[in-house]
Amino acid sequence: MPQVMVVARNFMDMVAALPAAKLDMLYDSAFICEAVLRSLPPLAKKYALQMLYVSAPVAAAAMEEWVLDEYAAKHRVAIDRLLQLRVFVEVRDRRKEVSYKMNQKFQGNMQKYLVDGGSLPREPIPSSVTARLPTLAELESFALEQWECFLLQLINSSQVERGTSFSSSMMRTFQRGLLSSRDGEAPRLTENGFQFLLMETNAQLWYIMREYISSAEERGVDPTELISFLLELSFHTLGEAYSLNTLTDVQRNAIRDLAELGLVKLQQGRKDSWFIPTKLATNLSASLSDSSSNKEGFVVVETNFRMYAYSTSRLHCEILRLFSRVEYQLPNLIVGSITKESLYGAFENGITAEQIISFLQQNAHPRVADKIPAVPENVTDQIRLWETDRNRVDMTLSHLYEDFPSKDMFDQCCDYARDHGCLLWEDAKKMRLIVRVEFHSEMREFLRRLR
């Protein structure tokens, strides 16, 4: 994965950002407590479990003795995380010493969980009502197809056969930061947008869900309720049907949006309607590092700059079109070539040569992935050379100083500018010097002092 500028934080970062009162409300639900516990770093998990039946505050100094000295940094990270999520609450006694106490709601719910065992947020509908449900394979293909359809619409692709029913203002919310639109021009993918497309599906999903939740208040919806519902959703069983009647109005509206994204599938019976969580939904509470979905590569690049992508995905075709010239789009094969003109189109959008090369290497077809290198060197070198060809002229806004009355004054000014790292050019013979434009006022002040 290339250096991703788009921070695809998971839910727990959003949870941690909530104000204390809302966070405490969130812990009314045992499922959220469980999800939070799952998301903690290992040491923080240990501390949470260790404190589960301790009701009195434990001194911070005493807690530091739970780890060896060389793990003090890990200890600090774990404690910070517990405090951010308000699993631990800081307590100060009369002697101003810091102690940590467990959040009472969190503690109560987790104790009950241990004693009674886990339960589902809601019972699935019996199979006598739903008759035939989609198989897991069908659900997965539905989810990916729906998600891809959303992504194509997100990047304003002309390949969208059937768009989602999101309003244009909602789409603009999702596109914020991914697409840029100049006056009169069609929106184009930004550097962040390209990086977004290169992310794996779970990371993309978190980004979109974050935008969805962040914009909730603009739609008159409480973000806390949304977060609560989404975390709850991840505890539903994959492939089981759950009735829409058990949902609140906010949740029912959210479910329809989630169906557009491929997180759930909606179905209608004679009397009932129900939703079926897909794998995308059950992955919501998984942390980024737990993700183990390694997609198989599909791209073969030849030394003659021809490119063959063995893929049925229209989204893959759109991604390749960003930096290559797609010549044929067959049902399961995309044939293209990497040309200077197509790469310049990508460079103008802010996509870098390194991003393109990383994409080609990480998505190399299994037949070429083991070769060294997976992408021919003449191709990667040429991509880099074409990029540097764009940057042959370097321009810096500056001030030129001339007509110095004395050599001594000229030398002092040169040294002054050089010491501040703002000297761009000097010509001792003609006594000229050039400094960055932002340094002009300081230089003027320096000249005044030399008077």
* R_g (Cα) of the chain, nearest Å: 29
Smallest gap from Cβ 411 to another protein, in A, equals 13
User: What would the two tokens of residue 397 be?
Assistant: 């806004």
Q: Apex CA 383: angle with CA 307 and CA 321, to 5°? A: 45
* CB of 119 vs another protein, minimal distance in Å: 59
Binding mask 310-329 for another protein (x = CB under 8 A): ---------------x----
What character string, x for contact with another protein (CB under 8 A) and - otherwise, covers 334-373? -----xxx--------------------------------
Nearer Cβ to another protein, position 21 or 395?
Answer: 395
183 part of the interface to another protein, by CB under 8 A: no
Stretch 369-428 residues interacting with another protein (CB under 8 A)? 385, 389, 392-405, 409, 413, 424-425, 427
Pairing of strands 306-309, 273-277: unpaired
217 sits near another protein (criterion: CB under 8 A): no
The amino acid at residue 236 is H
Nearer to another protein, 199 or 424 (CB): 424
User: By C-alpha distance, which of 225, 226, 53, 238 is closest to 134?
Assistant: 238
Cβ neighbours of 315 (radius 10 Å): 20
Q: Residue 274: left if φ>0, alpha if ψ -120 to 50, beta else—which one?
A: beta
Residue closer to another protein, measured from CB, 141 or 396:
396
Q: Name the burial class of residue 167, with classes exposed (0-12), middle (13-18) and buried (19+) by CB atoms within 10 angstroms of its CB.
A: exposed
Q: Does 160 bind another protein (CB under 8 A)?
A: no
Is 131 one of the binding residues for another protein (CB under 8 A)? Answer: no
Shortest distance, position 5 Cβ to another protein, whole Å: 25
Order of all β-strands in the sheet with 242-243? 242-243, 273-277, 264-268
Q: How far is the CB of 407 from another protein (least distance, A)?
A: 13
Query: Which of 121/345 has CB closer to another protein?
Result: 345
Binder among 94, 271, 448, 449 for another protein (CB under 8 A):
448
The structure tokens 């060389």 sit at 70
Report the alpha-carbon distance of residue 306 to residue 336 in Å, rounded.
Answer: 6
Whichever of 116 and 341 has its CB closer to another protein, that residue is 341
82-113 CB burial, b ≥16 within 10 A, e <16: beebbbbbeeeeeeeeebbbbbebbbebbeeb
Residues that bind another protein (CB under 8 A): 325, 339-341, 385, 389, 392-405, 409, 413, 424-425, 427, 432, 434, 437, 440, 443-444, 447-448, 451
